[in-house]
Amino acid sequence: MAAQEPVRRPGGRNARVRTAVCEAVLDLLHEADWDDLSIAQVAERSGVHQATIYRRWGTLGALVDDVVTEQLTRSSPVPDTGTLRGDLEAYAVQVAEDVAGPLGPVFLRAALVGTRPEGEPSKQVYLLERGTQLQKMLDRARDRGENPPTLLELLEVILAPLYFHAMFFERPTNAHHARTLVDRLLALSEKK
């Protein structure tokens, strides 16, 4: 069968498998903890054979990482509001909502599981993809004559504290906190 399998195309069998498996993982993560999840459960829920899931993702860790990362990327498109502050605020508030939501800890944990030497470097892929989108946001600001921060400054001053709060603080982060971080980033840019 593998020899006759057609090239991957949107809407084809591969896409259907992916959609079914992703939905099953998200469902299961809303019902139970990651530690109670198994590929067998995902197979049962999605109707996709275990062997197919193993062939495609390899491990439960890689599967969860892939699904959660895509979900968060899709639910948080990089905004284009017409001003740097508008873009940064919309982006920061969305991230704050995401990390305070049920998938936040799963996403962060998946990133850490990926730091194992034998793990998939999916965290890199996520950051590259997201970084490319955010760089475009900053480029648009520069084209409008604004004075944007660097991508690294954006990641360190906005994204890092939001993740930090999700990891270490009992009280979830919120939109007000996100806006405080945007103020800080813009204050740093003004100093330059």
Rank residues 143 and 190 by Cβ distance to its own copies and give the closer one.
190
Q: Identify which range of 10-18, 22-30, 71-79, 108-116 contacts its own copies by CB under 8 A.
A: 108-116
Whole-number Å distance between alpha carbons of 42 and 153: 39
Contact with its own copies (CB under 8 A): which of 20, 151, 155, 175?
Answer: 155
Using the rule CB under 8 A, is 156 a contact of its own copies?
Answer: yes
Residue 119 DSSP one-character state: S
Amino acid residing at 191 = K
Amino acid residing at 158 = I
Let me know how long the chain is.
192
Using the rule CB under 8 A, is 169 a contact of its own copies?
Answer: yes
Q: How far is the CB of 108 from its own copies (least distance, A)?
A: 5
Using the rule CB under 8 A, is 40 a contact of its own copies?
Answer: no
Per CB under 8 A, contacts with its own copies among 109-148 are 109, 111-113, 115-116, 118, 121, 123-124, 126-127
Whole-number Å distance between alpha carbons of 32 and 15: 26
Q: Identify which range of 46-54, 68-76, 84-92, 106-114 contacts its own copies by CB under 8 A.
A: 106-114
Q: How far is the CB of 33 from its own copies (least distance, A)?
A: 6
Whole-number Å distance between alpha carbons of 160 and 130: 14
Amino acid residing at 156 = E
Q: How far is the CB of 180 from its own copies (least distance, A)?
A: 9
Query: Token digits for 55?
Result: 């062939």
Amino acid residing at 89 = E
Whole-number Å distance between alpha carbons of 104 and 95: 9
**Dihedral Cα 51, 57, 58, 62, nearest 10 deg:** -140
Residues lying near its own copies in the complex (CB under 8 A) are found at 33, 35, 105, 108-109, 111-113, 115-116, 118, 121, 123-124, 126-127, 155-157, 159-161, 163-164, 166-170, 181, 184, 187-188, 191
